[in-house]
Structure 1
Amino acid sequence: MKSSAVDPWSATMITPAVDLAVAPLFRKELTLDDGHGHVESAILRVSSLGVHDVRVNGAPVSDDVLSPGWSSYEWRLRYRTHDVSRLVANTTVVTALVGNGWHRGRLGFMAGRAFYGQRLGLIAELEVTFGDGHVQTVLTDDSWTAHPSDVLENDLYDGQTIDAGRRAAAWYEPGAQPDLTIPTIGIDFDTTRLAPYVGPPVTRQDVITPVAVWTSPSGRTLVDFGQNLVGWLRFTVRGPAGSEIRVRHAEVLEHDELGVRPLQDARATDRFILSGDSDFFEPTMTFHGFRYAEITGWPTAVAGELTPESLEAVVVHSRIERTGRFECSDPMLNQLHSNVVWGTKGNFLDLPTDCPQRNERLGWTGDISVFAPTAAYLFDVDSFLSDWLVDLALEQEHANGVVPFVVPDIFKMNPPVEGFGEPDSTAFWSDAAVWVPWALWQAYGDRSVLERQYPSMAAHVRRVRSLLSPTGLWDTSFQFGDWLDPDAPPENPYQAKADEGVVSTAALFRSATLVAETADVLGLEADAAEFSALALSTRTAFNEHYVAADGRVASDCPTVYSLAIVFGLLDAETSAAAGQRLAELVHDNAYRVSTGFAGTPYICDALAQTGHLDHAYRLLTERGCPSWLYPVTMGATTIWERWDSMLPDGTINPGEMTSFNHYALGAVADWMHRTIGGIAPLEPGYSRVHIAPRPGGGITWSKAALDTRHGTVEVCWKLSDDILTVTSTIPTGMTGVVSFDGQAEIHLGPGTYVHETPA
């Protein structure tokens, strides 16, 4: 991959001459050239093998943390550019603390580490421009030194150990001679791998103070922050030199103690060794998913009792701006929506991960495939997901068109995962190549994402076409299917009711249809015809082999009907029959959820589209397990991986795989935004907006708003005396269509409008 840099890099990737066994601190002292006037600008470009914290004269160069994040390092290592003009002085010290991060730390549940290399490294170029036009350039080379830092251990899964007694002010002071100076050496590194960020940096987003501090039955000190979040704790404390404070993190309590079993073998523990003076600790080279913390070794005799004022939690995620808001008269649904928002925050940390707490935290493609429309309403994720899609295309390009299960793909560096079969295209997961860019196109109306990703989109569908059986069905190769069907046994999430071939073939039809539409948008007539023909043949095969004359779909369960209806695989008469059967199944299951990852995002739409809106609302508002609101009744503040991640008696699901922060099942929020909130795009980017709230479920009012590229659209409605009053605001540059059941459409220009209709 060619570098996207304006200028090629001249710097060398450097590493300590010997492994320091702790996080190295790279250091360079420089003197600005004389006789050229004032400093006009000072620009620093920097990247690293590992995550870095860069300072100039002791001041951070920016507010980003965990840079350069995680990309497909084999082909793309991102760098950041910082304006440090305000920080440079006549004599300047540049330092960079480099930790293991994703480069050398643990990754995945296979007990592997250092997948990308054993050596940590730094590459940087400082360009200082003076008033007379003179340019002074400082590059990483063997004139830089390395020093053992105060970070003794650091790992994204296991935590960070900081020894305040090892800190030295001399690291940042000009003219100083830090102890234990180690030379640096250059290492072989292809600078054409360096590319600027497409997406935003990871930054500190919020600070939360504890809501309670107490002693558990076993005598341990526990802290509750009231919200499941992602980040770390920070505090200032004084205590005996050499004494240690330990902080262990977890999302839930079990039997009134920290519930750490779901973390699997991730230690999620930070250690802080005191200097005897006043010490500030903030472990910025790790992150944890937690609501609760267990504090051991707090120096009560010196610092006093641990109280909610003693520490704070720092919320960390990519800098994505909130764009969509939703609220209604049902407090339970409002909490569900809040849980979706917080699940997005916690898992949008540099890439869209499955979970942020256990020994996994991978960019699973299936999760974001179904969640992208929800994410694009809640936040501006255009550049965030576009950045990740670059890596998806790179991984796919180097795997013969196969979109992997996770991006970046670490599975290719390991023996095959037991049960996953030979790596190949997989429905819903590999479909991220098509569904995510399409979701961005619909949300933001910028066709450049389609232009950039079209080769990847087309390659995915062509790869799947090569896997079809002679019947034209995608019923071959490994599939996750309707993963985590609530009726599957806890120890075997594969055992869904939905026939895998039905799920996969439906997914292919949707992808082929979307790629055909994309080709049409881009003016690629031959490709549009090719993929339209594939979509038609897939639809024909689906109906021939999976759909009975009475509308029954093979395996006769909610997921297969939901996909067939929403993806458009059925004609009108058969769709109505399928909808009726789906409504019967939902009723017969007492409105408890019976779908997994594949069916859950679409079941409410399938019911509503076929005339069963009341069933959709009863399904959405059911509180028994499994349901969307059951976790809310159990105090959840994020979306769970399993419907019953915690059982009604307060014990954790006995399955080996359980997370309390998994956003995928929160994809129902997309339906809430469109159906309850009443806001949906009629054209990509909301140049035309569909305003069509459909009340139900006992909800008496709703407020929804979305910041689009054209401005903010708002829809508020209320029910009173059987009259539905809808107030809508359409910004300049947008037109709207208001729809009420059984009435003619109302076309609107910019402005604020009030419409009343019988409920």
Structure 2
Amino acid sequence: MTDAAAEGVIARIATLRAELRDDSTFVATPTPRLSWTVETDEPGWRQASAELRSGDESVHLEADESVLVDWPFAPLTAGETREVRVRVAAASGTETDWSAPITIVAGFLDDGAWVAEPIGLADPSRPAQPALVRTSFTVDGAVRRATLYYTVLGVAEPELNGIRVDDDVLAPGWTSYRDRLVHETVDVTALVRDGENVLGATLAGGWYTEQYGFFQFADRVYGDQPSLLAQLQVEYADGRSQVVATGDGDGEGWRALGDGTVVDSGIYAGEHAELRRAVAVEGWSAPGFDASAWPEARRGASARAGYEHVPVPEARIAPPVRRIAELPVAEVLESPSGATILDFGQNLVGRLRLRVSGPAGTRLTLRHAEVLEHGELSLRPLRNAAATDELELAGDGVEVWEPRFTFHGFRYASIEGWPGAFDPADVTAVVIASDLPRTGWFDSSHELLDRLHENVVWGMRGNFLAIPTDCPQRDERFGWTGDIQVFAPTASFLADCDAFLTSWLRDLALEQRRAGGVVPLVVPAALPSLGIGDGVAAWGDAATIVPWVLYERFGDLGVLRDAYPSMRDWVDTVLAVTDAKGLWTGAMQLGDWLDPDAPPDKPGKAKVDGDLVASAYLARSLRIVADAAQLLGEPGDQSRYAALAEHTRAAFVDEYVTPAGRMMNDAPTAYALALGFDLVTDAAQRTALAARLADLVRERGYRIATGFVGTPLVADALVDAGHRATAERLLLQTECPSWLYSVTMGATTVWERWDSLLPDGSVNPGEMTSFNHYALGAVADWLHRTVAGLAPEAPGYRRLRIAPRPLAALEHARASHRTPYGAASVAWRREGDAVVVVAEVPPNSDAVVDLPGLEPVVVGSGRHEWRFTEAPDAASSRPLSLDSPTAAIIDDHEAYRTLLDTLATHDEARADAVRIDTVWSEGRTLRQALMFTPPVVLDDIERALAELD
């Protein structure tokens, strides 16, 4: 008996899963990787070996790895079912029992086995017309298993014998239709019956028939009508098999009707339903219904030019979209125009479910908006998206209705035409999203900061819907590559999004291949006319950065292997247009998009030069490709791209950095890029650059001065160089522009613009004004890693980094994350002058601990506690006067408020101008900043400053 066993140590397998999904037994590959976690009370537990069993096969692994372990058995065949279990032994000798078995089903078809063809309405009366399609077939024996494989050029809800086959929403989502379709795999054994059976589906156009484009230039890209591709495989107990597929003419054949209850539906437009139509089609997907009068279905896709080819579908690898939450009405409002407006208290993505009764033909109209302006729904930001649902009642008692094939981004909804007295309990907001398990949490003693983090969570939830979108409400909702590039680290902490983003990266690679190596601005590439030429930095770099983030956060070397050709093609495409120095210059760039100083109608007009951004990202991506090549065993590529990365890095320094440590482009984003991407390696230069960045942040009054590119980097650049107090003031600022400004204005998601809602409550006049964008919420990754102090030190959190940097204004902070190895957390709290840190390290991992004032150490799994004392804050500059530097005023929060409050008693506009226009620096006095201020006002300010303690 081992010492550990003798001491009563208990270890058990806590979780076991195949490949990347927890929500389904189906896998999309013959060799799914396996992952497991262990729960134990043994400190420093480390796996020494594992035994895996499937049926009569048993494999012993002398290895300590437990995450994404290669499939050790014979590859699965199509449709095969296996049960797998695992037990492990620790280096200490502790052993677990066998885990509970998990069922793994091969959810794919053999090559050449897909025979389904597209079908739909043969003679539609209008574009994108919803339809019902059906066929009947006969089952003549005991069924061992029945599996439905389906996909759609559009979206669908299949039914078998009158019952929905799954609870997916907007299935199968949105992919690059020219090159990739994904099919759902559903076990429908319980739904088939002896004798007559009916397979049917309700179809709508969804993303396939949507009109994409801006202003008046929107048009359909993919196709004009939705189509279903479905294949039902019936396996009989006696060994026979039967295939019922769209387009095969089996049995009654496929028929299609365009007169179902869904009259019209669009992603942007909304949905119109006519419930009186239900009578004519009652029981349409069940046996016994007479569909002989229905027209025969169209065979073949109703596709636009260039999209006629229908690729063979592949099995889904990411969780589908589902209903994930419901919210009640928080408040009923009456607008100045007399409209009934419902406030759900949270900006969300989904639709409304109504419970209503009224006369036949009663029409209800539902409109959706994210904010109110002057008490009315603010519809202007929606642009061409009507975001309107209409319902006509059947008049046969209480009717429950929810749109099926659309979604909206909204906090507020107006309801017109409600029959009788309105009861808010009859309306529910149904939240829909890709069903990704939550894995990360953060909280602190700062209420506004916690609300900001919750806003980031809601923003991700609303925009991770089939693909990672930019916004969920207006006539866009595209997979903008730049947005997810900056947000991927935050997303990877908050949710298990490895499979979700891996799936999207497959579309990126396919669209990139069609574009000759250029990564489109949006994926799927539904905006082919943008004319991006040779690509756009920070957006195109999603091809390198997103796979690298997934490797870092999930330990997923497979995603690097799959994405490597795309990563390499992207940097090669950019290298082909670099100048003689190795810099990317002269091209159209979006740069530091939505810099707060950019005019509302010119969001790309940033303080930092686009060429600087482009060259910085090129150096970063080259370094990533070199590192990926080394991991993948490509030494030739590794040496080539490492040399190119160093060449561009050195050229960047020569071009944009002075020997004294100033950026030629004296903007915060320039400094953040140079420091955050390690483009400057000289220690003295880095120190000077960070000091200048800190000065720039203070000169702006600790208000944000960065856009999409600089914002995720600026806090790290400051803290890493010892300017933690500056980063704290920037983070906790509530004046506009700042992260917390939107929170003070009632935001419940992250905005697209720093000032999407202006201080007077009006909506930003810019054409692009969304109240649900996640890009600027990328700061949450810094909250997790630095403020709370939980980060990966090795890929997949095999080694954690515990390194909190407590902010002076916080009494406590905590981050917890469900790593691939199990639950990890770091929490700190103040106890007098000391800071107490408590951490949990999951079994089979360890952690490097780096705390202020203490030597770094490495600890094993288990619970740990440390205590340290930080140096006191710098001494106060008081007494303060008109001759004090403006820097001393802004750095003393009480003095700063005293100055502005005193000015406001005389002239509020003057106080606001001083707040916005003053350069808060060591070399300018307050008296100089208040030039032309009346003497009586100056006297009051002098007196107020002198009275400070």
TM-score (ref. length: structure 1): 0.96
Aligned to 1:461: 571
Aligned to 1:350: 466
2:404 equivalent to 1:284: yes
Secondary structure at the aligned position of 2:191 is classed as coil
Secondary structure at the aligned position of 2:649 is classed as helix
Return the alpha-carbon distance in structure 2 between the equivalents of residues 433 and 551 of structure 1. Answer: 31
Match of 2:268 among 157, 182, 189: 157
Return the alpha-carbon distance in structure 2 between the equivalents of residues 701 and 294 of structure 1. Answer: 41
Aligned to 2:123: 18
Shift of 1:192: 4.2
Match of 2:147 among 20, 39, 43: 43
2:675 equivalent to 1:568: no
Aligned to 1:375: 491
Match of 1:746 among 851, 857, 868: 857
* Structure 1 contact 371–664 (Cα < 8 Å) conserved: yes
Aligned to 2:388: 269
Return the alpha-carbon distance in structure 2 between the equivalents of residues 339 and 180 of structure 1. Answer: 52
Q: Which amino acid aligns with 2:570?
A: H
Return the alpha-carbon distance in structure 2 between the equivalents of residues 522 and 546 of structure 1. Answer: 33
Match of 2:413 among 269, 293, 297: 293
Return the alpha-carbon distance in structure 2 between the equivalents of residues 422 and 247 of structure 1. Answer: 38
1:195-206 equivalences in 2 (<5 Å): 195-206=314-325
List alignment gaps of at least 5 residues for structure 1: none
1:74-473 equivalences in 2 (<5 Å): 74-90=178-194, 91-109=196-214, 111-141=217-247, 142=249, 143-147=253-257, 148-167=259-278, 168-178=281-291, 181-187=294-300, 192-277=311-396, 278-300=398-420, 305-412=421-528, 414=529, 416=530, 422-473=532-583
Q: Which amino acid aligns with 1:19?
A: P
Q: Which amino acid aligns with 2:423?
A: T
1:224-243 CA-partner distances (Å, limit 9, x unpaired): 00000001001221111111
1:599-625 CA-partner distances (Å, limit 9, x unpaired): 000000000111101100110000000
Secondary structure at the aligned position of 2:689 is classed as helix
Shift of 1:120: 2.0
Aligned to 2:902: none
Moved more, 164-173 or 388-397: 164-173
2:730 equivalent to 1:619: yes
Return the alpha-carbon distance in structure 2 between the equivalents of residues 106 and 174 of structure 1. Answer: 37
* Structure 1 contact 203–316 (Cα < 8 Å) conserved: yes
Return the alpha-carbon distance in structure 2 between the equivalents of residues 513 and 735 of structure 1. Answer: 27
Return the alpha-carbon distance in structure 2 between the equivalents of residues 377 and 154 of structure 1. Answer: 35
* Structure 1 contact 706–712 (Cα < 8 Å) conserved: yes
Shift of 1:179: 8.3
Secondary structure at the aligned position of 2:568 is classed as helix
* Structure 1 contact 640–660 (Cα < 8 Å) conserved: yes
Q: Which amino acid aligns with 1:243?
A: T
Shift of 1:18: 1.0
1:548-583 CA-partner distances (Å, limit 9, x unpaired): 122111210100000100100112111110000000
What's the RMSD between the two structures over aligned residues?
A: 1.5
Q: Find runs of 4+ consecutive structure 1 residues off by over 6 angstroms.
A: none
* Structure 1 contact 618–697 (Cα < 8 Å) conserved: no
Shift of 1:476: 2.2
Q: Which amino acid aligns with 1:621?
A: L
Return the alpha-carbon distance in structure 1 between the equivalents of residues 333 and 713 of structure 2. Answer: 43
Secondary structure at the aligned position of 1:171 is classed as coil
Identity value in percent: 47
Q: Aligned pair in 2 of structure 1 residues 94, 113: CA closer, same or farther (>3 Å)?
A: farther
* Structure 1 contact 404–424 (Cα < 8 Å) conserved: no
Aligned to 1:669: 780
Q: Which amino acid aligns with 1:13?
A: P
Return the alpha-carbon distance in structure 1 between the equivalents of residues 600 and 116 of structure 2. Answer: 52
Return the alpha-carbon distance in structure 2 between the equivalents of residues 5 and 501 of structure 1. Answer: 48
Return the alpha-carbon distance in structure 2 between the equivalents of residues 307 and 581 of structure 1. Answer: 59
Moved more, 715-724 or 661-670: 715-724
Q: Aligned pair in 2 of structure 1 residues 132, 193: CA closer, same or farther (>3 Å)?
A: closer
The count of aligned residue pairs is 745
Q: Which amino acid aligns with 2:597?
A: D
1:539-688 equivalences in 2 (<5 Å): 539-570=649-680, 571-688=682-799
Return the alpha-carbon distance in structure 1 between the equivalents of residues 154 and 339 of structure 2. Answer: 35
Q: Aligned pair in 2 of structure 1 residues 108, 378: CA closer, same or farther (>3 Å)?
A: farther
* Structure 2 contact 409–473 (Cα < 8 Å) conserved: yes
Larger Rg belongs to = 2
1:21-36 equivalences in 2 (<5 Å): 21=126, 22-33=129-140, 36=141
Return the alpha-carbon distance in structure 1 between the equivalents of residues 679 and 570 of structure 2. Answer: 20
Aligned to 2:167: 63
Secondary structure at the aligned position of 1:229 is classed as strand
Return the alpha-carbon distance in structure 2 between the equivalents of residues 108 and 157 of structure 1. Answer: 12
Shift of 1:95: 1.4
Q: Which amino acid aligns with 2:852?
A: D
Return the alpha-carbon distance in structure 2 between the equivalents of residues 422 and 630 of structure 1. Answer: 34
Return the alpha-carbon distance in structure 2 between the equivalents of residues 620 and 462 of structure 1. Answer: 38
* Structure 2 contact 255–291 (Cα < 8 Å) conserved: no
Moved more, 378-387 or 45-54: 45-54
* Structure 2 contact 160–286 (Cα < 8 Å) conserved: no
Return the alpha-carbon distance in structure 1 between the equivalents of residues 120 and 197 of structure 2. Answer: 21
Moved more, 336-345 or 206-215: 206-215
1:170-226 CA-partner distances (Å, limit 9, x unpaired): 313311224851111321675643112221111111011110112111100000000
* Structure 2 contact 854–868 (Cα < 8 Å) conserved: no
Q: Aligned pair in 2 of structure 1 residues 193, 112: CA closer, same or farther (>3 Å)?
A: farther
* Structure 2 contact 585–615 (Cα < 8 Å) conserved: yes
* Structure 1 contact 209–311 (Cα < 8 Å) conserved: yes
Shift of 1:151: 0.8
Q: Which amino acid aligns with 1:428?
A: A
Larger RCO: 1 or 2 (CA < 8 Å, sep 6+): 1
Q: Which amino acid aligns with 2:316?
A: Y
1:399-447 CA-partner distances (Å, limit 9, x unpaired): 11100100011222x3x4xxxx543221100000000000000000020
Return the alpha-carbon distance in structure 2 between the equivalents of residues 44 and 422 of structure 1. Answer: 41
1:714-748 CA-partner distances (Å, limit 9, x unpaired): 11110111111111111111101111123211211
Q: Which amino acid aligns with 2:655?
A: H
* Structure 1 contact 502–554 (Cα < 8 Å) conserved: no
List alignment gaps of at least 5 residues for structure 2: 1-28, 30-77, 79-107, 302-307, 871-949
Aligned to 2:648: 538
2:835 equivalent to 1:724: yes
Return the alpha-carbon distance in structure 1 between the equivalents of residues 409 and 351 of structure 2. Answer: 8
Return the alpha-carbon distance in structure 2 between the equivalents of residues 619 and 516 of structure 1. Answer: 34
Return the alpha-carbon distance in structure 1 between the equivalents of residues 642 and 697 of structure 2. Answer: 33
Aligned to 2:822: 711
2:616 equivalent to 1:509: no
